[in-house]
Structure 1
Amino acid sequence: MSELNREPIEVPGATVPFFTYTIGETQYFEFDTSKCGPPEPMVNAMAGLKMIDSANKKVVMINHKKPMGLLDKIGENYDIETESMDDGRVKLIFSYKTGESEKADLSQTSCGG
Structure 2
Amino acid sequence: MSELNKQAIEVPGATVPFFTYTMGETQYFEFDTSKCGPPEPMVNAMAGLKMIDGPNKKVVMINHKKPMGLLDKIGENYDIETEKMDDGRVKLIFSYKSGESENANLNDAACHG
TM-score bracket for the superposition, by shorter chain length: over 0.9
Identity of aligned residues (%): 87
* Alignment correspondent of 1:105: 105
Please give the root-mean-square deviation of Cα atoms over the aligned residues, in Å.
Answer: 0.5
- Unpaired segments of 5 or more residues in structure 2? none
Q: CA deviation at 1:110?
A: 1.1
- 1:26 lines up with 2:8 in the alignment: no
Task: Give the number of aligned pairs.
Answer: 113
TM-score when scaled to structure 1?
Answer: 0.99
Cα distance in 2 between the residues matched to 1:81 and 1:36: 21
* Alignment correspondent of 2:75: 75
Cα distance in 2 between the residues matched to 1:88 and 1:8: 25
* Alignment correspondent of 1:17: 17
Cα distance in 2 between the residues matched to 1:98 and 1:80: 13
* Alignment correspondent of 2:95: 95
Deviations 1:47-101 (A, max 9, x none): 0000000000000000000000000000000000000000000000000000000
* Alignment correspondent of 1:8: 8
Cα distance in 1 between the residues matched to 2:61 and 2:110: 17
Runs of 4+ in 1 over 6 A off after TM superposition: none
